[in-house]
Amino acid sequence: MARMPSAERRQQLIEAAIRAMTRDGVSRTTTRSIAAEAGVSLSVFHYCFDSKQALIESVITAITDHGVTVAKEAIRPKATLRETIRAGFQAYWDHVTANPGEHMLTYELTQYALRRPGFEHLARRQHALYCDTYGELIEQLRHSMGFELRVPVPVLARYLAAMTDGLTLNFLVLGNDTAWADILDMITDHVTGLVCDQVQPAAMD
Amino acid sequence: MARMPSAERRQQLIEAAIRAMTRDGVSRTTTRSIAAEAGVSLSVFHYCFDSKQALIESVITAITDHGVTVAKEAIRPKATLRETIRAGFQAYWDHVTANPGEHMLTYELTQYALRRPGFEHLARRQHALYCDTYGELIEQLRHSMGFELRVPVPVLARYLAAMTDGLTLNFLVLGNDTAWADILDMITDHVTGLVCDQVQPAAMD
DNA sequence: GTCTATAGGAAGATAGAC
DNA sequence: GTCTATCTTCCTATAGAC
């Protein structure tokens, strides 16, 4: 194999690990299968990472950061607040249905982290970042569209992070057998009802 | 060790497996550790179960049925619909905070089942049962307290199953650092607002 | 930096005595 | 039914040549 700087090899191994874990599940993914997926030998793996745990730590960080990006891109201002919220939920949901393996992997890694002593902080960082991201998106909308909320922003943010997580897991288990659109409509109504308008709701920033 | 009928030994091993998995996590629980927890030798394990997977199948079934029981016991009619709903959420939440390991194990087993070919049906059964249980509880309340809903029962049931699941996972990761009571209040308001009264809301069956 | 080869251990499952 | 002992396989990690 061609020689390559360590940093690049590390990135290559992280991406290979994500592919292998998405395909086979975290518990069935071995250092050998990751090295094979990356097209390198086993000792190259251990040249770049001290241990399997060190690699997984990098994988969790990468997956978490990517998840935050996905959530942020789901919000695109529309004509009304309701449409903005509904479209945001839909964009997130489209990502889930289009990339079930990626979301499945996220859950697996959360539990992996919770179960390894010294790794709990990675799981906490992941969920805290999601809560913070929702909080930022709410504040952003609140300022651009001009409204107040009947509940504190952190409470709503925590609820949204947890609730979407639960819907996602439920979809991963039960699949597309249900009128998910009805559920997204219902939570849109709920969230929309939590705002008390201060200016014209149709006005954009 | 004392001789024992197979059925009893099987039950003993299932309970030992649940204790070991709750303590160590599913992936770190071995046939040896289960046998040790049950106080029997490794070959007794394989005398009672063809394989580790066969035992885990029994464990998943047991855990799922227990979870349904917990959910059903959370609902106890109160003076008003709102109080009934709020107390139901609280009872479920008290169970989560008092038995985090049990709920954690439930999530782990769901993923274990999703990842083993031929075991997906156990994960689906688990989540389908939860949805059905919520559906039954809703119908029961609807008849005893006399009201109609603005959304179809299966939609609300699916939402409640998924949402509580998400809140639980969020708690398991982030712990008790938040005003969870505010979130339970908020979802109580939401659900209460979904009913359109047909008779006196304070009347009990 | 990358390779081949192997150390060292732990896992699931089985054999055969009692 | 239960035991001890063992088979077989697969894993992480390392050693040492190139």
B178-201 exposure pattern, b = at least 16 Cβ within 10 A, e = fewer: bebebbbebbbbbbbebbeeeeee
Q: Which of B:32-51 have CB within 8 Å of A?
A: none
> Which residues fall inside 7 Å of strand C, measured at CB?
A 1-6, 9, 40-44, 47; B 30-33, 42-43, 46, 50-53
Tell me, what's the pLDDT at B178?
Answer: 86
CA distance A87 to A93: 10
Tell me, what's the pLDDT at B1?
Answer: 63
Which residue among A25, A126, A165 sits closest to B166, beta carbon to beta carbon? A165
Distance B118 CA to C16 C1' (A): 33
Assess contact for B198 and B77: CB atoms under 8 A. no
CA distance A12 to B85: 51
In A, minimum Cα distance to B29 occurs at A115
**For chain B, which residues score pLDDT lower than 50?**
201-205
Tell me, what's the pLDDT at B5?
Answer: 86
Residue B126: partners with Cβ closer than 8 Å, 6 or more residues away: A173, B60, B64, B67, B106, B109, B110, B113
Tell me, what's the pLDDT at B6?
Answer: 87
β partners of residue B147: B197
* pLDDT greater than 50 at residue A99: yes
Mean pLDDT of all residues in chain B? 94
Name the residue with tokens 């992936």.
B27
Mean pLDDT in residue range A7-20: 97
The fraction of chain A above a pLDDT of 90, given in percent, is: 90
> Which residues fall inside 7 Å of strand D, measured at CB?
A 30-33, 42-43, 46, 50-53; B 1-6, 9, 40-44, 47-48
pLDDT band at A4 (very low <50, low <70, confident <90, very high): confident
Residues B11-57: tens digit of each pLDDT: 999 999 999 999 999 999 999 999 999 999 999 999 999 999 999 99
CB contact under 8 A, A152 and B124: no
Tell me, what's the pLDDT at B121?
Answer: 97
CB contact under 8 A, A167 and B162: yes
Instruction: Record the tokens describing residue A201, joined without a space.
Output: 């709701």
In B, minimum Cα distance to A165 occurs at B166
Which residue among B152, B155, B166 sits closest to A166, beta carbon to beta carbon? B166
CA distance B48 to A20: 35
Assess contact for A35 and A45: CB atoms under 8 A. yes
State how far the alpha carbon of B2 is from the alpha carbons of B9, B11, B55, B124, B200, in Å: 11, 15, 21, 38, 61
CB contact under 8 A, B158 and A27: no
CB contact under 8 A, A178 and B158: yes
Packed helices B153-174 and A120-145: angle between N→C axes, nearest 10 degrees:
120
Residues A165-191: tens digit of each pLDDT: 999 999 999 999 889 999 999 999 999
Residue from B108, B130, B163 to probe the interface with A (highest A Cβ count within 10 Å): B163
Nearest partner of B161 among B113, B127, B194, judged by Cα? B127
Tell me, what's the pLDDT at A198?
Answer: 67
CB contact under 8 A, A158 and B152: no
Distance A42 CA to C7 C1' (A): 15
Residues A47-95: tens digit of each pLDDT: 999 999 999 999 999 999 999 999 999 999 999 999 999 999 999 999 9
Tell me, what's the pLDDT at B93?
Answer: 97
CB contact under 8 A, A169 and B173: no
CB contact under 8 A, A28 and B115: yes
Mean pLDDT in residue range A110-133: 97
Nearest partner of A153 among A204, A191, A198, judged by Cα? A191
Tell me, what's the pLDDT at B162?
Answer: 98
Residues of chain B with Cβ-Cβ distance to A152 below 8 Å are 179, 182
How close B84 gets to chain A, by Cα (Å)?
A: 20
Tell me, what's the pLDDT at A27?
Answer: 97
* pLDDT greater than 80 at residue A197: no
Mean pLDDT of all residues in chain A? 94
Residues of chain A with Cβ-Cβ distance to B158 below 8 Å are 170, 178, 183
